[in-house]
Amino acid sequence: MMAAVRVSAGFMLRHPAHWVALGFGSGLSRWAPGTLGTLWGWVSFVLLDRWLGDVGWGLLIMAALAGGLWACTLTARHLGIADPGAIVWDEIVAFWIVLWLLTPASAWDQLLAFALFRYFDAAKPGPVGWADRLCKLQPGQAIGWRQGFGILFDDLVAAVCTLLVIALAVALPPLLGLD
């Protein structure tokens, strides 16, 4: 296994996969890169949503997941770290999914979704922790597609958990007669 490489703007500029995986620079932050990547995802969603309908979002998300698998795998391999914190494409695409399925939503609802997603992604409770451990690098194993998939997978599970909590918050009060 190669020695870990330092994440920098120079590293990001060396390969197009690095641009994507590092969230076009948002992953270079020394402070909470996952949070900044999610914020980048939120801002880019708001900007892109003006031109993309449901079909456009569906196609973009499928392409972003496929391209993200390639970019995250290659960037992790080039960094020599199986799941580096600087890779934030997983947060970006997963949060796009949350916002796409939540839209139309007020700014407050989006902020709540942001907070829930960041909680699930950072704390990794229950199923998110399971998803995070599923594809971890084993001793003697090279960084490969399995780890690239793992980078994306735990954030997709965090997105599902976020949407589930929001759905329960909307559905339970009427079911309990609290509306």
Q: Is residue 150 part of a domain?
A: yes
Q: Is residue 111 part of a domain?
A: yes
pLDDT of residue 43: 97
**Which residue type sits at 119?**
Y
> Global pTM?
0.92
Q: Is residue 147 part of a domain?
A: yes
Instruction: Give me the helix-helix angle, 145-175 and 126-134, nearest 10°.
Output: 170
Domain limits for position 135: 9-175
Residue 149 DSSP one-character state = H
> Region 128-155: what's the mean pLDDT?
92
In this prediction, residue 2 has a pLDDT band, given cuts at 50, 70 and 90, of low
Q: Is residue 2 part of a domain?
A: no
Rounded Cα–Cα distance for residues 33 and 93 (Å): 15
pLDDT of residue 19: 96
Other residues' Cβ atoms within 10 Å of the Cβ of residue 88: 31
Per-residue pLDDT of 3-45, as tens digits, reads: 567 899 999 999 999 999 999 999 999 999 999 999 999 999 9
pLDDT exceeds cutoff 70 at 177: no
Alpha helical stretches, state H, 105-144: 107-123, 126-134
pLDDT exceeds cutoff 90 at 138: no
Q: Domain tally for the chain? A: 1
Peptide bond into 84 cis (omega under 30): no
Other residues' Cβ atoms within 10 Å of the Cβ of residue 6: 8
Q: Is residue 4 part of a domain?
A: no
Q: Is residue 160 part of a domain?
A: yes
Residue 140 DSSP one-character state = T
Per-residue pLDDT of 65-116, as tens digits, reads: 999 999 999 999 999 999 999 999 999 999 999 999 999 999 999 999 999 9
Q: Is residue 98 part of a domain?
A: yes
In this prediction, residue 118 has a pLDDT band, given cuts at 50, 70 and 90, of very high
Looking at every residue in the chain, the average pLDDT score rounds to 93
Q: Is residue 3 part of a domain?
A: no
